[in-house]
């Protein structure tokens, strides 16, 4: 009897574990990304699904843009967030977008985020995703990319023969974690250089200072940052919130005293189960937006 119980558990375990493990990455541009500079992994944008345990209902999904100054991708702001969101029943997708460290400049990053959103919407039924509850989340430079999509989306091409191209790239909500927003005086210079190069045209700086590009149809946003952040000035979050307010776009803005830039979930070394309070505040906000299953 003990052997039989052990056998059942042994065969059941991988199924349970697989629900919280990443799936195989999906190549976003099967025929090659526009403007690709090669065929190395860094030239091939992908989207990695993280699927929580199956549910009878279609659920909210969040596309995650890790930070890294447009020079690398921080795993704790991608895989770490995705696994945590899965714990709360949210479907997650981690975006591997092209980077300035590989010589890419705008609009390569926005192209990758846009097609990722269209893909999730087009394939929503396959992943049990609600196509009207697809959000974008980003940290630091990933927050800049997320805020770029939140302010530079389009409705898609309704007459296209490609079902992905027909989809809108507009997220239904945004989550910005200590984001780079502006490319003006309060910018993070490394992110700006990697995105636009060392001597960008003034009109391009204006276009991608996203506090200046907020629209009346920009989706609702959750924004958080810490006062102690010495890498990305807190003015970035304040400027974006002010712009949302001016356009009457709903938002939550959370400014915390403590916490260095790039803290992610903010796990305590003394107590790894203790996360930064922003995680609880986000879950509350997602629930208020109808993004969590009851």
Burial class (CB within 10 angstroms; exposed 0-12, middle 13-18, buried 19+) of 230: exposed
At residue 267, the pLDDT reads: 75
Structure-block tokens of residue 41: 């992994």
**Average pLDDT for 170-175:** 98
Cα 64 versus chain centre, distance: 3
In degrees and rounded to multiples of 5, residue 162 shows phi and psi of -90, 115
In a domain, 47, yes or no: no
At residue 12, the pLDDT reads: 34
Could you tell me the sign of the dihedral formed by the alpha carbons of 270, 271, 272, 278, in that order?
negative
At residue 20, the pLDDT reads: 58
| DSSP designation for 267 | -
In a domain, 11, yes or no: no
In degrees and rounded to multiples of 5, residue 135 shows phi and psi of -110, 170
At residue 270, the pLDDT reads: 59
Report d(CA 47, CA 58) in Å as an integer.
19
The tokens 């001597």 sit on which residue? 199
With cut-offs at 50, 70 and 90, classify the pLDDT of residue 268.
Answer: low
Q: 28: closest CA among 59, 63, 62, 54? A: 63
Structure-block tokens of residue 91: 């479907």
With cut-offs at 50, 70 and 90, classify the pLDDT of residue 274.
Answer: confident
Give the SS3 label for residue 150: helix
In a domain, 17, yes or no: no
At residue 18, the pLDDT reads: 41
Cis omega (within 30 of 0) for bond into 85: no
Domain holding 131, by residue range, is 55-265+275-288
In a domain, 50, yes or no: no
- Predicted TM-score (pTM) of this structure: 0.92
Q: 20: closest CA among 117, 121, 88, 122? A: 88
**Average pLDDT for 151-162:** 97
pLDDT tens, residue by residue, 7-55: 333 333 333 334 457 999 999 999 999 999 999 999 999 999 999 988 8
What's 85's domain CATH number?
3.40.50.1820
At residue 15, the pLDDT reads: 32
Could you give the number of structural domains in the chain?
A: 1
In a domain, 160, yes or no: yes
**Average pLDDT for 202-220:** 98
Higher pLDDT, 35 or 268: 35
In degrees and rounded to multiples of 5, residue 15 shows phi and psi of -65, -45
Report d(CA 27, CA 13) in Å as an integer.
29
Other beta carbons less than 10 A from residue 72's beta carbon: 15
In a domain, 120, yes or no: yes
In a domain, 46, yes or no: no
Q: Which of 17-21, 87-91, 255-259 has the lowest mean pLDDT?
A: 17-21
In a domain, 28, yes or no: no
Higher pLDDT, 70 or 9: 70
């Amino acid at each position: 009897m003990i052997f039989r119980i052990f056998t059942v558990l042994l065969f059941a375990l991988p199924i349970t574990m697989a629900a919280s493990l990443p799936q195989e990455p999906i190549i976003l541009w099967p025929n090659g990304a526009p403007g690709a500079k090669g065929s190395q992994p860094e030239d091939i944008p992908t989207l990695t699904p993280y699927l929580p345990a199956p549910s009878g209902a279609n659920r909210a999904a969040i596309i995650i843009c890790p930070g890294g100054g447009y020079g690398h991708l921080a795993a704790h702001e991608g895989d770490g967030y995705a696994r945590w969101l899965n714990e709360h029943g949210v479907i997650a997708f981690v975006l591997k977008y092209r980077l300035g460290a590989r010589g890419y400049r705008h609009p390569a990053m926005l192209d990758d985020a846009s097609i990722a959103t269209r893909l999730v919407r087009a394939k929503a039924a396959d992943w049990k995703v609600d196509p009207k509850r697809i959000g974008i989340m980003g940290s630091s430079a990933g927050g800049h990319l997320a805020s770029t999509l939140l302010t530079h989306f389009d409705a898609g091409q309704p007459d296209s023969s490609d079902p992905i191209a027909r989809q809108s790239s507009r997220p239904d909500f945004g989550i910005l974690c200590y984001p780079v927003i502006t490319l003006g005086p309060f910018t993070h210079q490394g992110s700006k250089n990697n995105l636009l190069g060392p001597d960008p045209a003034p009109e391009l700086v204006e276009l991608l200072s996203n506090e200046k590009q907020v629209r009346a149809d920009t989706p609702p946003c959750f924004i958080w940052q810490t006062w102690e952040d010495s890498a990305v000035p807190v003015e970035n979050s304040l400027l974006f919130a002010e712009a949302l307010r001016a356009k009457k776009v709903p938002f939550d803005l959370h400014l915390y005293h403590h916490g260095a830039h790039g803290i992610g979930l903010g796990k305590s070394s003394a107590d790894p189960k203790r996360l930064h309070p922003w995680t609880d505040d986000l879950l509350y906000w997602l629930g208020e937006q109808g993004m969590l299953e009851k």
